[in-house]
């Protein structure tokens, strides 16, 4: 039985509650990345509108924002509030995304690059929000500007003193225009580049949240904008100390530290936390299994495995062995997640082939080759007893199907259920199984991103290699369960067993009728 740490158990329970509330397709915890992109779009569109009316001069900035907030409250005020709340929501989804990857142990091993490049991306988002508060140029904007200057002055790479700009009469429109350029163009370009680096090692990257989830999120932001509109403090005054400041803790949480720490100490703390986060994938490191191996003698270069690879580890190139095929595939070992999805993509993984000798396929996993898959399936089927014989195919990263094994239920774990060739299901039904029950990671939450999706498409939507139409789908069930979903999967398996028993009885009765009439 798999040992589950308390953090993972608690988070999976939370996801299950969200599944009940929203359904797997709209569970926001499964779409934190795409929701972040959606909030960025809201920030971008609302920001463009605000910029049309914004005055980047020192004397006009506050007045232009105040005009939008109060005189044009029905549109400009709403846009300002959307800009604020969508920015906050983006930080929330980013932090939740990081916590989720940590809780589910999806930040180490082959995922180290995405984690390490994701941490600095949060910095870009935070600094973008900070310069946004400068531009309002109210008491809070002045507070942020002065303390930011103190932080910058503490860095040895910055010559001179930025804080001197905030001495009465020293601040000019030129400096303020520079801040406007950074917020409106410079920082967004850096953020886009950082996001591109973050997802560079992934394929089939989704940046659009499910429509229903996006609409619901936008309506929530809109209601929040009407009920609690974003407003400014009093105008910035270099000769006045504000009595009360309402901080945006999502972006400005570091500034209260300067009340008790020096700027240098604050840098040591924040950089230290950042570096700790970035090296976490090696505390301790997680070993990734052996990379997929290409067997050119069985590969016709169709490229389906390259299309299906979730981590862009497989590419197609010109043939190198002089075979009659034009192309071949090659695997980048350092990018391979050892998921085995490519094995399920290969038409040569058909277990009906080469029944009297070793089964070779075009691309295979050395730690669990397809010939061993066939052998273990055949052995498990031969050991089944009883009137209703079921074989369960599971996933190493989901519920441990070994717990379901009985004399009438055989089990076989895969690296990922996306590794299962559709023909293996047909093979099992033809060699002793009355039914095939497939488990795996929860819907929408595949450990290897696309294992569930590709398997479903191969079984139901004609994606190659597909499950043939002649296969009796009433004898196949798919119920995906996390490591904590033992009660649910046992209940589903019991129901499926009853269904197969009824089918067997119906088949027996039909055969008896045929004999009687004969």
With a CB cutoff of 8 Å and minimum separation 6, the contacts of 145 are 134, 166
**Can you give the pLDDT at residue 159?**
58
Contact 344, 454 (CB under 8 A): yes
Q: What does the pLDDT look like over 235-271, one tens digit per residue?
A: 988 777 777 889 999 999 999 999 999 999 999 999 9
**Can you give the pLDDT at residue 97?**
97
**Can you give the pLDDT at residue 167?**
56
C-alpha to C-alpha distance for 464 and 159, rounded to whole angstroms? 61
C-alpha to C-alpha distance for 49 and 58, rounded to whole angstroms? 20
Q: How many CB atoms lie within 10 A of CB 334?
A: 11
**Can you give the pLDDT at residue 18?**
94
C-alpha to C-alpha distance for 371 and 357, rounded to whole angstroms? 9
**Can you give the pLDDT at residue 154?**
87
**Can you give the pLDDT at residue 110?**
93
In degrees, to the nearest 5, what angle opens at C-alpha 295 toward C-alphas 289 and 301?
A: 110
Domain layout of the chain by residue ranges: 31-236+252-282, 293-517
**Of residues 331, 347, 335, 334, the one with CA closest to residue 292:** 331
Name the stretches of the chain with pLDDT < 70.
1-2, 158-170, 355, 508-518
CATH class of 31-236+252-282: mainly alpha
Instruction: Flag whether the pTM goes above 0.75.
Output: yes
With a CB cutoff of 8 Å and minimum separation 6, the contacts of 7 are 102, 103
**Can you give the pLDDT at residue 166?**
62
**Can you give the pLDDT at residue 136?**
93
C-alpha to C-alpha distance for 232 and 144, rounded to whole angstroms? 14
């Amino acid at each position: 039985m798999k040992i589950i740490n308390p953090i993972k158990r608690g988070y999976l329970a939370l996801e299950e509650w969200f599944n009940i509330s929203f359904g797997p397709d709209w569970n926001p915890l499964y779409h934190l990345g795409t929701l972040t992109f959606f909030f960025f779009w809201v920030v971008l569109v609302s920001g463009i509108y605000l910029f049309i009316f914004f005055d980047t001069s020192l004397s006009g900035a506050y007045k232009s924002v105040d005009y939008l907030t109060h005189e044009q409250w029905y549109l400009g005020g709403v846009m300002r509030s959307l800009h604020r709340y969508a920015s906050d929501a983006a930080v929330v989804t980013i932090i939740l995304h990081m916590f989720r990857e940590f809780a589910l142990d999806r930040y180490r091993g082959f995922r180290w690059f995405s984690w390490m490049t994701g941490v600095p991306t949060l910095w870009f988002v935070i600094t973008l929000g900070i310069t946004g508060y400068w531009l309002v140029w109210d008491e809070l904007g002045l507070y942020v500007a002065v303390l930011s200057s103190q932080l910058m002055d503490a860095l040895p790479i910055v010559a001179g003193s930025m804080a001197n700009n905030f001495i009465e009469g020293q601040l000019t429109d030129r400096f303020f225009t520079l801040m406007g350029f950074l917020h409106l163009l410079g920082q967004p370009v850096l953020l886009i580049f950082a996001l591109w680096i973050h997802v560079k090692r992934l394929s089939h990257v989704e940046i659009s949240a499910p429509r229903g989830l996006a609409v619901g999120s936008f309506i929530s932001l809109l209601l929040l904008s009407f009920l609690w509109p974003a407003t400014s403090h009093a105008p910035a005054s270099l000769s006045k100390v504000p009595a009360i400041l309402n901080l945006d803790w999502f972006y400005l949480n570091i500034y209260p530290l300067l009340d008790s720490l020096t700027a240098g100490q604050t840098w040591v703390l924040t950089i230290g936390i950042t570096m700790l986060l970035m090296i976490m994938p090696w505390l301790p490191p997680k070993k990734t299994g052996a990379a997929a191996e290409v067997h050119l003698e069985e590969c016709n270069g169709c490229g389906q495995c390259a299309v299906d690879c979730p981590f862009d580890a497989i590419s197609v190139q010109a043939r190198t062995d002089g075979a009659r095929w034009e192309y071949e595939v090659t695997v980048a070992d350092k990018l391979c997640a050892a998921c085995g999805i490519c094995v399920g993509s290969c038409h040569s993984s058909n277990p009906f082939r080469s029944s009297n000798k070793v089964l070779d396929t075009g691309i295979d996993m050395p730690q669990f080759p397809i010939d061993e898959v066939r052998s273990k399936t055949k052995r498990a089927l031969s050991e089944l007893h009883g009137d209703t014989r079921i074989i369960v195919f599971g996933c190493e990263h989901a519920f441990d199907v070994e717990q379901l094994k009985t004399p009438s239920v055989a089990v076989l774990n895969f690296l990922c259920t996306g590794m299962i060739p559709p023909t293996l299901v047909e093979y099992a039904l033809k060699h002793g199984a009355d039914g095939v029950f497939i488990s795996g990671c929860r819907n929408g939450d595949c450990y290897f991103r696309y294992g569930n999706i590709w398997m479903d498409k191969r079984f139901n939507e004609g994606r190659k290699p597909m499950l043939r139409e002649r296969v009796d789908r009433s004898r196949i069930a798919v119920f995906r369960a996390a490591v904590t979903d033992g009660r649910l999967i046992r209940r589903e398996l019991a129901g499926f067993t009853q269904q197969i028993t009824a089918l067997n009885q119906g088949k027996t009765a039909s055969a008896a009728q045929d004999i009687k009439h004969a």
